[in-house]
Structure 1
Amino acid sequence: MTVSFPAAARRPPDGVRGRRRRTLIGTARRGLRAAVLLAASTGMALAIVAAPAPAPADAATGAPEPSATPSATDAADAANLSVVVAPAGNGVVSTTVVSVAVAVSNTGDAPAASGTMTIALSRSPLATSAQVTSWLDAQTVADTTVASVPVTAVVARGTATATAAVDLGALGALAPGVYPLSAAYSSPTTGTQPLVAHSVLTVPDAASAASGVGVVVPITAPPTTTGLLSADDLKALTADDGALRTQLNAVTGTPAILAVDPAIPAAIRVLGSSAPASARQWLADLLALPNSRFALQFGDADLATQIAAGLPAPLRVSTLDPFMSARNFTSPAVAAGASPTATPAPDGRTLPTLDQLLDIGTARANFFWPATGSATAGVVAALQSAPGASGSTEPAAITLVGTSALSGAVGARADAAGAGILAYDDGASRALRTASLASDPVHQGAGLAAASAYASVATRGAASSAPLLVVVDRATGRSATGLRAAITAASSLAGRSPWDLDALLAAPAASVSVTGGTADDPTRVDALRDLLDQETRVAAFATVLADPTLLTAPDRAEILQLMGNVWRAAPDQFATALSDHRDATTTTLGSVAIVPPSDITLLASSAPLTFSVRNDLPWPVTLTLSATPNDPRLIVQKSADVSAGAAQSTRVLVPVQARVGSGESTLDLQLRSSAGVEIGPRVRVAISVRAEWESVGIVVMSVLIGAMLVLGIVRTARKMRRRRIAAATAAHNPQTEDVDG
């Protein structure tokens, strides 16, 4: 369903705007979920070399392909096995005996035989994030076997788990560091080539607890093609099992730094008293949280794409008034979180202002979070110098950038040629996202172990006293349990204590350079430019309205929603949404036009011609109809004012005078708005002039009238003559009868 214009009186008919919903609450969500799962499986490979379910187990673990390995049996192919290993305690060693869980998953249609899992550990620690990544992606096993555990047979499309106790004391004291851990699964099904999974054990360093860690968590909605979520969408998303309620429950009671899409509270507030009760409660709960926070762009719009498209500053919404109906606002208090100041409505009631609608609570302004991997030096510089980004009344701009895009000593707080940066650790953030999406404890534990390792190596060396920042990146389809587990683990990574946003910003800034980041996808850049071109045409067309924002405001909101980062994971659905928006724009631009008339025959030298103007919009429009003859022998009134009512056709009279008795001519008709913008196509009408028939008619009528007058005079004269004769005869002979009697 479509709620481009929530106020019933302002909602165009379906045939006018056709703003069809494309949220992933329905069909689009299923497509996006598949993309998210694929992305999750890719990220999971950081901690679970053999785990990605979409890929064959042999390929994931580095085992030879069946076609190239005679020892890979048909049973192994049919079983399609994958292995994952996860040490307990998020991979952080706190005792000499560590519990290690393993899982063998079978996504095939045939059962797999029972086997043995051999766990090995290397005493050579990993010193850098690159080394951790290399190990998690490796194909080899660690050098020291520390445990072996049997694994039962794995049924088709099932999972078998086992737990082994690893006695680290037998290896001697391990210095603080990150140690490679592997698990190799062998069974008759796997043949001679075992399946190998990788993880890590982290021996903590007491010095790392001297500073803090910040955890950024996004609060975003599924993708949508309308400017704001509808009441039905909000009801579903804020229900007990809804995506927004899940996110809020996960962050409640945690020290997470919230990155909130302001379009969500705005969607609730514009509904006023008609907003679903669950949505109003969700907003109240959000505002009541003590967590530090900042606002994402409206709709979490893609910042890198906007900069790549040449925009001087990120796009904003200028008003959301068209989404509101005054009847839902009997007092300012109806708008949740409204301040005493409000925009007066025509009937004396009040509507919340734009700032009130977008309010997410006490938040730090001028904060930017480009999509992961998209923050290049150009993007950071553009955001820093964007108009209003560093105004005298606002704090300086801060951009979140992944450490892989930076060079130099990197803590959480950094400075790149005067541009303020908060740097989040890429490796730990990827692992946390993987853990938040995991559907079982073993996969979740593997992701958290990897996050602990990345955090540990990130804090070693000269930057050990600097705060660490991680993000639990944008994703859909995760549970409150998975997200909360990731946040909880992240809040104590490397033994650190949680810091809020103010503490991170107050830390000394390290000097860095932005050397990485990937240039934005040209397809998305072209899409945005096309959307902005359509917006320009809609803005010009909207001048037919007394209040052009009735069209322009929803259109800008829709563009920002379409550029939401969540669409990056669903390119096919994104292409469909763009096509739908283009069709809707075409429909809108064609909603006011001249009804093509039939050819006209002019039987007089002058007469008014009648034309019809169609208005499919749900609001009245004011136009000027211009008439231009293509023959100087036609004299027409050059323009006529048109006031067309909402959703109706209006007649317009155009006086025309012909200087010729007979001939063929044409008349060009064009509608224009009060701003002089051409509205609708130019219409040409053929006119046949037959004005000589008017002269013939006059002559004929004159002759007929003259003849009737003559006949009347003759008859009257004869009658009077008879009367005189009769009178004379009667006087001469009184006895004679009156001849007229």
Structure 2
Amino acid sequence: MAFPSLPRRSAWRGAAAGLAALALVVGGATAATAEAPAGRPAEVGDPPTGTSLPTLIMSPLEPVLGDSADDVSVGVVVRNPGDEPIPAGELRVELNPQRVETIAGLDEEFPVSGELLAESAIGSTAAESEQSVTVTIAREDLPLTALIAPGVYQLRATLTPESGTAPVIPEVTGDPGSDPEAAEAGDSATAETDALRSAAVPFVWRESGGSDVEVSVIVPLVLPTDIRTLPTRDQLSDLVPRLDRLLTAATAQRATLAIDPRIIAGIRAYGDEAPLLAQRFLSRLESSSLPGFLLQFADADPAAQAALGFTTLLEPTNLDFVSRFGVEPAQEPADELPDEPADDPAEDDTVPTVLPTLSELLAWSEEAPTAWPAEGAVDEGTLQLLEANGISDVVLTSDNVTQEGGPRVTLGRSDALVTDARLGAAARRALAAPNDTERAAAVSEIAARLALAAETDVPGVILGLDRGAIADAENPEQLLEDIGDLDWVAATPHTEQATGTASLKSADTLEERRELLRTAVNREGAVDEVGAILIHPEYLSGYQRTRLLDLFATRYAASDADFPAVATTFRMRDAELMEGVRAVSTEHTQLVGASTRVPVQLRNSLPFEALVSVRVDPASAALTVPERSFADVRVRPEGTEQLLVPVQSRVSSGESGLVVSIADVSGDWTIFTGTLSITIRSGVETIAIWTLGGLAALLLGFGIWRSVRRRRHRRRAPELTAA
């Protein structure tokens, strides 16, 4: 049985803090990827910033091998992010002839020497580059025959540098994320051997023996990470076909849907102006027979909110900043939302007073409210917060609990679905894989783990697909199809899974993330206050709360997610919003003459149209400003407006300025006060003008005199000739 191998985007389980020194990553069941400590699996994503250790990835391109006469292809990727080249060497592919009997057996060390299947020379890998090769194993060289028991076996790739070159990757075996002691040993490993070794990569020989394993999949329907509020209509047009394919695959797998409410609200907000494909998709989603539940808005993390001491879950305040686009079908408002700020000032004049309510935009029928906090971060405080908000069903990962029996358990007064953390990590790598080899390695591990679950009569398995990885995957439905193609997998709704018992393990959110979130929450009021200068103040409060909920998203919960960088970008945007409308100062303004009109530029940093009152006062007695107040000045979103302020000078020269104050239309709240410097040169300019005028008069008089004289000379010329 073969799995189609399609290109995929980035595939790493990023190394967690303290394990970054682990050098070798292989996308197999016992791949040498460092997982986060304390039971928190690392998120998919690029390697942590600053990682410069080489990476070796190997996998059979068909994770399930059969009795066919075809040769076996093994893909190998050597990735070198460092500053020095990896020397050329010899690549060996070996087989462990011992069959893996249990899931725990995947973590056992590969024998010192396996059966050699193939050898191949591989050239050096330049700094900051990678190379991919394919090693072909002749079918007759593969010591697996019909007489060999079907099941899970392991391959290993070994890259040995040329003689005389120093090894560049320490040997790593097993999965350090599953055993702290093994992780510590792997982290301190030294390159005392001449070989650069990968960990074992599992595959399934023929088909699994034993009965089928019941597998339930939780499929998130979420927005891509680059959408921070709600999607524009253009983004919906691009996004919906992928979501529709994913819904089709989920239906075939009898999966459970976990839906970001932004998808539902984002389509409804545009009303008849929403793309037709989006409207049809929403209708299909509403009529789907699949079990499902709504995630918290923007997939915000309840565990982080509990850690901050919240007594109620964060919710959006309004979505009027988007729904205003959908209430006037005859208009053609700009598609851009404040994520990429744009607005049409004229729209604010025509927006009806009645917009869809928040409850109308978010209305959804679900069997029971369910929460899905960040992986491995749930504690008693999280469950208490959820219970206080009427949520008694929760999705947990197996590394967050001690579990026995089936994956449906009870924790106090809460019912929980327990997803398999290691299976989920493999699925994460498959969704984000950047090439065929890494994707095949991840799918191979999934196939092996499910085959061993079937052989050992595991009561049932729940696979929760990673929300961050599936959000940006190009073809996430392919993974569901791959799982459905496994003969030993029985697609099962989660409601039919066996029950078991479980107790919570100690867990917590990352301290740095908590403090950055706390700071962002504390800034929300300051940002909302700026809405006083808007024509529609509620737009800014709804926009800011939506941004804040996205900052709480579970995809930022892992230790390798570089949340500080995300929080920095969020803080910088907050600073822009809090600037509101300001007077933009030019480098130097000169006052020419005793009276003129001085241009004052008003800059609106907000993504919505502002309506302000402006007062301009002289900074000193050297100037007078006949007209000082300018009421109801409109400034377009992310744009500028120019005021011409009449100014008169009382002195011939000097330095002064204009004090510009910008407030809301009532004048009760001032957002900006600043001074625009002005240099007065009216006396000098007057003298220069009179001087130039006098010179012009003299030149004109001299020209007239010469002209008269020439004419007289011409009249007298004939008389002189006759004489």
Aligned to 1:199: 202
Residue of structure 2 equivalent to 1:222: 224
Aligned equivalents of 1:226, 1:528: Cα separation in 2: 16
Superposed CA offset, 1:473-527 (max 9, x none): 231335346322344268x76x5451245x45xx7563x32114343251x2233
* 1:459 and 1:468 in contact (8 A); partners too: no
Q: CA deviation at 1:330?
A: 4.6
Q: Which residue of 1 aligns with 2:537?
A: 548
State the 1:161 CA deviation. Answer: 3.8
1:451 pairs, out of 419, 424, 449, with: 449
Q: Closer, same or farther in 2 for the Cα pair 1:187/1:509, shift >3 Å?
A: closer
Letter in 2 for 1:477: A
Give the distance between the partners of 2:432 and 2:584, measured in 1 at CA.
Answer: 56
For 1:414 and 1:169, locate their aligned partners in 2 and report how far apart those are by CA, in whole Å.
Answer: 41
1:550 Cα deviation from its structure 2 partner: 1.5
Q: Of 386, 393, 400, which residue of structure 2 is paired with 1:398?
A: 393
Q: Deviations over 1:704-730 (max 9, x none)?
A: xxxxxxxxxxxxxxxxxxxxxxxxxxx
Q: Which residue pairs with 2:298 in the alignment?
A: 299
Question: Is 2:498 aligned against 1:514?
Answer: no
Alignment partner of 2:75: what SS? strand
* Contact in 2 for aligned 1:435/1:482 (Cα 8 Å): no
Match of 1:28 in 2: none
Letter in 2 for 1:519: T
Residue in 1 aligned with 2:29? 47
Q: Give the C-alpha shift of residue 406 in structure 1.
A: 1.0
User: Structure 2 vs 1, CA of residues 551 and 198 (structure 1 numbering), >3 Å: closer, same or farther?
Assistant: closer
Helix, strand or coil for the counterpart of 2:200? strand
Matching residue of 1:564: 553
1:454-469 map, 5 Å: 455-456=453-454, 460=458, 464=459, 467-469=460-462
Give 1:79 shift. Answer: 12
Q: Does 1:537 align with 2:526?
A: yes
Give the conservation status (yes or no) of the 8 Å contact 1:415–1:421. Answer: yes
Q: Superposed, which structure 2 residues align to 1:482-497 within 5 Å?
A: 482-488=478-484, 496-497=490-491
1:499 is the counterpart of 2:499: no
Cα deviation, residue 445, structure 1 = 4.7
Amino acid at match of 1:411: G
1:139 aligns to 2:102 (yes or no): no
Normalised TM-score (structure 2)? 0.60
Q: 1:235 to 1:669 in 2, by over 3 A?
A: closer
Query: For 1:79 and 1:430, how far apart are their aligned partners in 2?
Result: 18
Q: Distance in 1 between matches of 2:537 and 2:478?
A: 46
Alpha-carbon distance between aligned partners in 2 of 1:280 and 1:427, rounded to the nearest angstrom: 37
Letter in 2 for 1:306: Q
1:373 maps onto 2:376 in alignment: yes
Shift of the 547–190 alpha-carbon distance from structure 1 to 2, 3 Å rule, reads same
Shift, 1:650, TM fit: 7.7
Residues 326 and 401 (structure 1), Cα distance of their counterparts in 2 relative to 1, 3 Å cut: closer
Q: Deviations over 1:264-289 (max 9, x none)?
A: 23333333444344444444444454
Counterpart of 1:357 in structure 2 is: 361
SS in 2 for 1:291: coil
- The answer to whether the 8 Å contact 2:93/2:155 transfers is no
- Structure with higher Rg: it is 1
Alignment partner, residue 269 of structure 2: 270
1:536 deviates by 0.9
- 1:471: how far off? 1.4
Question: Is structure 2 residue 135 aligned with structure 1 residue 160?
Answer: yes
Alpha-carbon distance in 2 for matches of 1:652, 1:316: 45
SS in 2 for 1:535: helix
- Whole-Å Cα distance in 2 between the matches of residues 442 and 593 of structure 1? 55
Task: Describe the shift of the 1:115–1:198 C-alpha distance in structure 2 as closer, same or farther (beyond 3 A).
Answer: closer
Cα deviation digits, residues 599-625 of structure 1 (max 9, x gap): xxxxxxxxxxx9999573654546798
CA shift for structure 1 position 296: 1.6
Structure-2 separation of matches of 1:527 and 1:213: 38
Q: Distance in 2 between matches of 1:78 and 1:44?
A: 12
CA distance in 1 between counterparts of 2:285 and 2:669 reads 45
Tell me the residue number matched to 2:75: 105
Match of 1:183 among 155, 160, 173: 155
Q: Aligned to 2:219, what secondary structure does the other structure show?
A: strand
C-alpha spacing 1:116/1:641, structure 2 compared with 1 (3 Å): closer
Partner of 1:472: 465
Q: Quote the residue 1:680 is aligned against.
A: 672
Give 1:160's aligned amino acid: V
| CA distance 1:437–1:684, shift in 2 (3 Å) | closer
| One-letter code aligned to 1:220 | V
Distance of 2:490 and 2:144 partners within structure 1: 26
TM-aligned CA distance change 1:346 to 1:614, over 3 Å: closer
Q: Is contact 1:98-1:167 (8 Å) kept?
A: no
**Deviation of 1:237 (Å):** 3.0
Deviation at 1:415, TM superposition (A): 2.0
8 Å Cα contact 1:87/1:99 also seen in 2: no
Match of 1:582 among 525, 548, 571: 571
**Structure-2 residue corresponding to 1:121:** 98
The 1:50/1:376 distance shift into structure 2, 3 A limit, reads: closer
SS in 2 for 1:223: coil
Tell me, yes or no, if the aligned pair for 2:91 and 2:121 is still in contact at 8 Å: yes
Q: Is the 8 A contact 1:531 1:559 kept in 2?
A: yes
Deviation digits for residues 399-445 of structure 1, max 9, x if unmatched? 11112211253532222222332111223333333444553585255
Residue identity opposite 1:585 in structure 2: D
Unaligned ranges ≥5, structure 1: 1-31, 53-76, 92-96, 332-344, 391-395, 599-609, 630-638, 654-665, 687-741
Query: 1:573 Cα deviation (Å)?
Result: 7.5
Task: List alignment gaps of at least 5 residues for structure 2.
Answer: 1-7, 17-22, 35-52, 79-85, 124-131, 164-193, 331-348, 589-597, 620-627, 647-656, 679-723
Match of 2:64 among 88, 95, 103: 88
Name the CA distance, whole Å, in 1 between partners of 2:238 and 2:266: 13
Contact 2:246 2:477 survives alignment (8 Å)? no
Would you say the 8 A contact 1:104–1:154 is kept in 2? no
Do the aligned residues in 2 keep the contact of 1:99 with 1:166 (CA within 8 Å)?
A: no
The 2-side partners of 1:329 and 1:682 are apart by 40
Distance 2:289 2:493 in 1: 13
Is the contact made by 2:93 and 2:116 (CA closer than 8 Å) also made in structure 1? yes
Select the structure that is richer in helix: 1
Mapped to 1, the partners of 2:420 and 2:553 lie a distance apart of: 23
- Could you give the per-residue CA deviations for residues 598-655 of structure 1, whole angstroms, max 9, x where no partner exists? 9xxxxxxxxxxx999957365454679899x9xxxxxxxxx999544344578999xx
CA contact (8 A) 1:427 1:454 kept: no
* Residue equivalent to 1:722: none
How many residues were matched structurally?
A: 550
